[in-house]
């Protein structure tokens, strides 16, 4: 797991800084390649965003029922995914929630090997973009783990799934053929 | 009305340029790194500090400690009491900063503006940088749930492009080989060594189909450009200024899922069209018009897309022309003789500005001999992308 490697790296850095505080009186360590002096900051913050989903609550209610919703502007018929309750084109807040078929085809994909820190507890994951029958695209993980079995143009279906270990509902692309 | 018309015709020139050594710069702090390019640029411009009436700082930040970079630099460089701001347009911040300065001078409000781009990415650990740069798309719909990374975004384009046009991973490596070839001849480049096809092909996957050698590095660096009005240039007797002929800008959707296709960055096409139109450039003769070009090759696939989106080569032909070595000196059009983002390095805020520094030096025959283009028409183009085609800027320079 990449998380262990990442955490070990940070732990080593902190231990080195702690050690040098005792010897030198400061958290100053030499750069591994250049030998130049580096100050390891004593301050650290944890960032966790708290984001309003009030206007798109219906989307999450839909996921709870196993449905994936988009919004549609009642004035110009534009379909929005990700859903938004205001149409920028019409400057109107006049949308209806429509359930997506979830059916479409894969238009591109990748497999992430070097992961962001906050995703480093997962195994390598495959991300795809599917074009749905309705004409909109959806980005999501692909359930299939073997990249050799995935092709552009594969018929796919979106499925509501529980993401572990976090245990929350999201959606995934499944390969049909 | 008369005055307004006059200002619209007002030319803007570049009178001082420099970029610092790019790389892991753990030998200097944020301000010191900026000073490295600022000092050289102002010395090369032959102006006084007091001539500068505004300071624009291009910096993405997040990974570096200074929260107000423009203010921090203002104090260190001795540029206070004039007015400053920080510009963010992801990896295109540098070109965005140039655009603001250009418009400010063109409007008649300012005569001389210093534009400094800086990024100190190595103040944070690599996993955190990977995290923060991966968030440079749409946070809620693409990062929060699916953990896209910056190489991952471009990999989505690479997969689609390779599938459509039959390009292979080896073809992507050709871009890395060329850019490392020129990087090895640029003493300020992050990587100063050539790479072979085998080394590139054997490097590990970062985001399939992109490998480590397809990716630009996490770099520290700064770049400075001093812009001045034509009036100031004539009055102060600056020799051989390089002129900004035009700047074209565009932007595209935050969510990649909203893109029409993954074969082209639409923002580049639009920005280039605007720049060509403003500079009266014949789009059918681009490779004959421009002597040298710097494109945004944050990943190898990005250079191929850029060449096609700028209109240099036909769709689907870019990788073949690059494979035939037509983007080296002596080919159809030399591209990224600095080593590009791939080998020169990619300190985000500094990148766009360093492209202009590079092109000014190319146009004036001031770069190392082995990577000097033949300057016939005295025209050069810089292409700078922010995010994954989220922002795009195209800047045209002339002697």
Contact A107 B160 (CB under 8 A): yes
- Angstrom distance (rounded) from CA A130 to CA A158: 9
The CATH architecture of the domain made up of A102-177 is: Beta Barrel (2.40)
What is the per-residue pLDDT for B4? Answer: 52
Place of tokens 């384009």: B157
B-chain residues near A139 (CB < 8 A): 141-142, 146, 148, 255-257
In chain B, the domains with their CATH numbers are 2-125+218-236 (3.40.47.10), 243-398 (3.40.47.10)
- Angstrom distance (rounded) from CA B340 to CA A174: 39
User: Which long-range CB contacts under 8 A does B363-367 form with residues at least 24 apart?
Assistant: B363/B242, B363/B291, B363/B292, B363/B397, B363/B398, B363/B399, B364/B240, B364/B242, B364/B399, B367/B186, B367/B337, B367/B338
Scan residues 51-80 of A and list those with Cβ closer than 8 Å to B: 51
pLDDT in tens, chain B (399 residues): 445 555 567 999 999 999 999 999 999 999 999 999 999 999 999 899 999 999 999 999 999 999 999 999 999 999 999 999 999 999 999 999 999 999 999 999 999 999 999 999 999 999 999 999 999 999 999 999 999 999 999 999 999 999 999 999 999 999 999 999 999 999 999 999 999 999 999 999 999 999 999 999 999 999 999 999 999 999 998 888 999 999 999 999 999 999 999 999 999 999 999 999 999 999 999 999 999 999 999 999 999 999 999 999 999 999 999 999 999 999 999 999 999 999 999 999 999 999 999 999 999 999 999 999 999 999 999 999 999 999 999 999 999
A-chain residues near B141 (CB < 8 A): 82, 139
Query: Which of A110, A118, A129 lies at the smallest CB-CB distance from B207?
Result: A110
B-chain residues near A10 (CB < 8 A): 125
Residue A173 has pLDDT above 70, yes or no: yes
Element (H, E) at B270: helix B266-278
3-state secondary structure of A18: helix
- The ipTM estimated for the assembled molecules is 0.96
Contact B258 A137 (CB under 8 A): yes
Q: For chain A, say whether B67 makes contact (Cβ under 8 Å).
A: no
Give the distance from CA B152 to its chain's centroid.
20
pLDDT in tens, A37-89: 999 999 999 999 999 999 999 999 999 999 999 999 999 999 999 999 999 88
- Angstrom distance (rounded) from CA B337 to CA B360: 13
**Which residues belong to CATH 2.40.50.840 in chain A?**
102-177
- Angstrom distance (rounded) from CA B46 to CA B225: 13
Q: pTM to 2 decimals?
A: 0.96
Q: For chain B, say whether A31 makes contact (Cβ under 8 Å).
A: yes
Is position B91 annotated as part of the catalytic site?
A: yes
What is the per-residue pLDDT for B5? Answer: 52
User: Residue range A111-120: average pLDDT?
Assistant: 96
Kindly report the nearest CA distance between residue A11 and chain B, in angstroms: 12
Beta-ladder partners of B246 = B396
Contact A137 B149 (CB under 8 A): no
């Amino acid at each position: 797991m990449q998380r262990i490697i990442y955490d070990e790296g940070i732990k080593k850095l902190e231990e080195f800084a702690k050690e040098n505080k005792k010897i030198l009186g400061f958290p100053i360590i030499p750069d591994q390649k250049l030998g130049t002096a580096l100050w390891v900051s004593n301050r650290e913050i944890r960032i966790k965003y708290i984001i309003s989903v009030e206007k798109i609550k219906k989307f999450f209610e839909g996921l709870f029922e196993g449905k994936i919703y988009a919004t549609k502007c009642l004035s110009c018929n534009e379909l929005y995914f990700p859903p938004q309750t205001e149409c920028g084109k019409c400057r109107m807040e006049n949308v209806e929630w429509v359930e997506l078929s979830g059916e479409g085809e894969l238009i591109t994909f990748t497999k992430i090997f070097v992961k962001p820190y906050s995703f480093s507890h997962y195994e390598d994951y495959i991300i795809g973009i599917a074009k749905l029958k309705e004409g909109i695209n959806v980005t999501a993980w692909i359930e299939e783990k073997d990249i050799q079995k995935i092709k552009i143009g594969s018929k796919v279906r979106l499925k509501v799934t529980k993401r572990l270990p976090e245990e929350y509902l999201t959606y995934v692309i499944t390969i049909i053929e | 009305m008369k005055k307004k018309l006059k200002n619209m015709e007002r030319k803007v020139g570049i009178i001082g340029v420099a970029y610092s050594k790019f790389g892991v710069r753990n030998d200097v702090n944020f301000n010191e790194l900026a000073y490295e390019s600022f000092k050289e640029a102002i010395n090369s411009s032959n102006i006084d500090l007091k001539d500068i009436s505004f300071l624009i700082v291009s910096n993405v930040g997040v990974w570096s400690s200074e929260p107000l970079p423009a203010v921090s630099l203002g104090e260190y460089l001795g540029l206070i009491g004039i007015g400053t701001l920080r510009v963010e347009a992801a990896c295109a911040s540098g070109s965005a900063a140039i655009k603001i300065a250009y418009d400010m001078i063109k409007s008649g409000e300012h005569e001389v503006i210093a534009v400094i781009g800086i990024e100190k990415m190595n103040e944070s650990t690599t996993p955190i940088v990977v995290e923060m740069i991966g968030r440079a798309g749409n946070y809620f719909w693409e990062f929060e749930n699916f953990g896209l990374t910056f190489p991952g975004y471009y990999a989505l384009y690479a997969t689609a492009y390779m599938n459509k046009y039959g390009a292979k991973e080896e073809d992507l490596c050709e871009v890395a080989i060329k850019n490392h070839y020129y990087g090895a001849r640029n003493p300020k480049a992050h990587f100063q060594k050539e790479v072979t096809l085998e080394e590139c092909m054997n490097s590990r996957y970062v985001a399939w189909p992109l490998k480590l050698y397809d990716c630009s590095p996490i770099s520290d660096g700064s770049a400075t450009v001093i812009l001045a009005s034509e009036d100031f240039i004539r009055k102060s007797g600056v020799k051989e200024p390089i002129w900004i002929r035009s700047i074209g800008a565009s932007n595209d959707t935050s969510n990649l899922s909203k893109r029409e296709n993954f074969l082209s960055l639409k923002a580049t096409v639009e920005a280039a069209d605007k720049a060509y139109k403003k500079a009266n450039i014949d789009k059918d003769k681009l490779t004959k018009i421009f002597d040298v070009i710097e494109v945004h090759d944050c990943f190898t696939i990005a250079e191929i897309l850029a060449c096609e989106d700028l209109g240099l080569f036909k769709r689907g032909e870019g990788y073949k022309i690059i494979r035939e070595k037509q983007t080296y000196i002596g080919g159809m059009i030399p591209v990224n003789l600095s080593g590009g983002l791939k080998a020169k390095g990619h300190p985000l805020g500094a990148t766009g500005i360093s492209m202009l520094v590079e092109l000014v030096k190319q146009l004036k025959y001031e770069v190392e001999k082995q990577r000097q283009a033949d300057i016939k028409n005295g025209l050069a183009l810089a292409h700078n992308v922010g995010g994954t085609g989220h922002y795009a800027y195209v800047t045209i320079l002339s002697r």
